[in-house]
Amino acid sequence: MLGSLDVIACGQNVILPEEELRAILAAVRGGVGFMNLATFCHQDPGYTEEVQELLGIQDGFYTWKGDVDQNCTVLQSHPILGVLEPGDGFWIRMASGYVGVVDGIPLLGPPEGFDPSFCPLYVRQLGEGRVVNIQWYSDPKPTHPYTVDEFYTRCINWAAKRPVGAKWIAGGDQAGM
């Protein structure tokens, strides 16, 4: 059934049964996109081989810095980020996730005071599927022209290999944004 989807969006899932984790991993390898928001693991801290492969973080460990506003720096241009350029600021809140070597394209650098290997936003290819890993919960001070929902939709669209700027319309159709 997961193979008939074009994207799986997951938010703050800290206890995921191994069977579900393996099904998601197989679906993504086969071409289904995956957008993760905040923490994703088998059991807290649950950094299994399947989580490592899906998220693309090697030698990882869990981190949580609390529910405070943090400023990150854009590292490189990407369709998800739209008009933002390297060096621009990007505010996040409640940074949490895995610290480790990222096998992907880092889009945001860590906030000040974080482990330098913490990557709050990155994208990667896994088999035929695209992965977007967002390691925060909200965007309290938008430093870009998108609402939080529009930004998350851009991430989902990129993972699903849809036009990034498309928005959802009733009935499942999309229109340009």
Contact between residue 56 and residue 28 where contact means Cβ atoms under 8 Å apart: no
Q: What is the SS3 assignment for 26?
A: helix
pLDDT value of residue 30: 95
Question: CB count, 10 Å around CB of 144?
Answer: 18
**56-85: b (≥16 Cβ within 10 Å) or e:** bbeebebbebeeeebebebbeebebbbebe
pLDDT of residue 132: 95
Q: Quick one: DSSP state of residue 118?
A: B
Q: Residue 10 class from Cβ within 10 Å (0-12 exposed, 13-18 middle, 19+ buried)?
A: middle
Could you report the average pLDDT of every consecutive run of 10 residues in the chain (177 residues)?
Answer: 73 74 91 85 62 81 75 94 93 78 93 87 96 80 75 92 74 47
Give the pLDDT of residue 147.
80
Domains located in the chain, CATH noted: 2-175 (3.40.50.880)
Q: 125 with 28: CB under 8 angstroms?
A: no
Phi, psi of 62 (to 5 degrees): -80, 145
Bridging pattern class, strands 89-93 and 129-134: unpaired
* Of the candidates 44, 73, 62, the residue with the CA atom closest to the CA atom of residue 135: 62
